[in-house]
Amino acid sequence: MSGWWQDPWYIVTDGTESSAKLIYIKSTGESEGDIHISDANTWNVSKALIKMIRIETASVNWDLYILQNDNGHVANDANIPEIQLMSGGNGDLDIYPDHAYEDEDDSKEVHLYWVDNGGVNTADIYVIGYNLQ
């Protein structure tokens, strides 16, 4: 993963503030549980159209959920309940949810819950989308 998400042709713009812009966020070495990913430079939005989530892991059996707030998988108390994006994932995988996402607590994070059913592995997570206003 050497910068494929940073290529300039991914940026869609006509020079105005209302233009759609590709945004991305990454996190490495995540262990099982609630994951809150933020980056003030490459994400910095509370509303996005998530086009792709890439998971890189050695796990042979994992699940992934997307959440709308900081309260996590156990609480699952967001206005939009958690959505399971993958069940029984095996190794590295690209997921294409094409999902409108709103961070309800406006923390400008992507909230995920990753479960490793295959052991004690970690995951590198990459999220790519477009900002929504």
Is the pLDDT reported for residue 17 higher than 80? no
Single pTM value for the model:
0.83
Q: Which residues touch 19 (CB under 8 Å, ≥6 apart)?
A: 12, 13
Q: What is the pLDDT of residue 11?
A: 40
What pLDDT digit, counting tens, does each position of 90-122 carry? 999 999 999 899 999 899 999 999 999 988 889
List the one residue out of 30, 27, 10 whose CA is nearest residue 109: 27
List, for residues 68-97, the tens digit of each pLDDT value: 988 888 888 888 889 999 999 999 999 999
Domains in the chain, ordered, with CATH? 22-131 (2.60.120)
What is the structure's pLDDT at 72? 84
Tallying the residues shown for the chain, one arrives at: 133
